[in-house]
Structure 1
Amino acid sequence: MYKVFVNNKPIILTSEVPKGKLYKTYPLKYVDLPRVVRDFRKTENKGVYLYHPNKKKLLKKFLKKFPNVIAGGGKVINDKEKVLFIYRNDKWDLPKGCVKSKETIEEGAIREVEEETGVKGLKITKPLEKTYHIFKRNGRYKIKITHWFEMHTSYNGKLKPETSEGITKVEWLGKKKQVKALENSYANIRELF
């Protein structure tokens, strides 16, 4: 099972027909995905299931529905066990961005965290889950696949929000502040905690 978010509403990809289902189910092969996404914006639909019987082909077939954008990002932890958050578009988020064609996903993730926050000395400690979300750019829907990494740094210098990317704040948050920030964050970010 995979979750793909449209804003904070899930499209749940499944290879089993859900019992006692919360949402309407569509066969992946025949679904009009642009219409489903548009309906999310106009109706009270809280989510949908997309069904395909072959578990191994489920995600691959879904990703063919829209162009894919590959991104990398970091859940950065410092020596004080605080996590690095950015504030953009009135939401708390984690730093991430598109990977360039001549870099690895890991290199892109580190570069994006550095650019968006000013933090240096990043080391990847382990890979985290990938997240998926659908967005619209220039009139076309796209699927952003974000490869997340847990990172560590001993950096204690000045944090610099990348204002050209709409980031207004960068902060190290302890456990209690993380919980509060996640209340005003995105569903795919909450999945990482």
Structure 2
Amino acid sequence: MYKVFVNDKPLFLTNTVEKETDFRMFLLESVDIEQLIVNMFNNKIQKAFLYHPDEKETLKKLKEKIPVAKAGGGLVYNKRGEVLFIFRNGKWDLPKGGIEKNEDIEDTAIREVEEETGVKGLKITQKLQKTYHVFKRNGTYRLKVTHWYEMKTDYSGKLSGQLEEGIEKVAWLNPEQIKEVLTNSYENIKLLFETVELDK
């Protein structure tokens, strides 16, 4: 099952029919996706399921209904086992950004981390899960698919947030601090941390 976040509310892509309780269920084939997204953005729907009988087809079908933006990001550890976070729009987040023409997604992830935080000497150590969320740009809703990579660095220099991206703070956080900042982060970031072990 895939989980797509719309304004931090979950939209599940599923191949099982469940009895509705606290959510709405729609058929992926026939749903008016824009209307559903608008309702979720406007808090009329808190949680929804999109049903399609073939689980492998669910994401593909959704991508046919909404433009896709591909992004790369990093979960970066330093030598002390701290993780690199950025603070923007009032929330803690991880550095990430959109792919450029003819760029490999791994290169996107490294470039974006460098640009957004000033951290250099990044090495990808493993591929993490992808996350999905819907955002609006120039009046159009898009599905952002972010490819996440675990990275390591020995960098101990100055951190500098990319101002034109609205980044107010960049910080190395230890596992205790991470637990705290995740209470003021995005659902996708929380999801990512459910699958990684801190205290590396």
- Normalized against structure 2, the TM-score is what? 0.94
Percent identical among aligned pairs is 53
Counterparts of 2:37 and 2:58 in 1: how far apart (Å)?
18
Q: Summarize the Cα distance change of 1:37–1:20 in structure 2 as closer, same or farther, 3 Å threshold.
A: closer
2:21, 2:102 → 1: CA distance? 43
* SS of alignment partner, residue 80 of structure 1: coil
Instruction: Provide the residue aligned with 1:71 in structure 2.
Output: 71
Query: 2:27: which partner in 1?
Result: 27
- Do the aligned residues in 2 keep the contact of 1:7 with 1:186 (CA within 8 Å)? no
Tell me what 1:82 maps to.
82
- CA RMSD of superposed structures (Å): 1.0
Kindly state the Cα deviation for residue 18 of structure 1 after the two structures are TM-superposed.
Answer: 2.1
TM-superposition CA deviations, 1:50-96 (whole Å, max 9, x none): 00001121110111111110100000011100000000100000000
Shift of 1:154: 0.8
Return the offset for 1:20: 6.0
- C-alpha separation between the residues in 1 aligned to 2:40 and 2:108? 31
- Separation of aligned partners in 2, 1:7 and 1:23: 16
Q: For the residues of structure 2 that align with 1:94 and 1:23, how far apart are their CA atoms?
A: 29
For 1:150, the equivalent position in structure 2 comes to 150
Q: Distance in 2 between matches of 1:146 and 1:43?
A: 24
Q: Where in structure 2 are the equivalents of 1:29-178 lying within 5 Å?
A: 29-178=29-178
Amino acid at match of 1:108: T
Query: For 2:88 and 2:114, how far apart are their aligned partners in 1?
Result: 16
Q: Which runs of 5+ in 1 are unaligned?
A: none
**Cα drift, residue 169 of structure 1:** 0.3
Matches of 1:86 and 1:122, distance apart in 2: 16
* Deviation of the 1:176 alpha carbon: 1.0
Q: Which whole-Å deviations, capped at 9, do the CAs of 1:8-33 have from their partners, x for residues lacking one?
A: 10110001112465311100001111
Distance 2:34 2:20 in 1: 26
Q: Distance in 1 between matches of 2:56 and 2:168?
A: 41
Within 2, Cα distance between the matches of 1:91 and 1:10?
Answer: 18
Amino acid aligned to 1:88: R
Q: Measure, in 2, the Cα distance between the counterparts of 1:21 and 1:190.
A: 24
Query: 2:24 is matched by which residue type in structure 1?
Result: K
Contact 1:87–1:169 (Cα < 8 Å) also in 2: yes
Distance 1:37 1:54 in 2: 22
Length, aligned pairs only: 193
Matched AA of 1:179: K
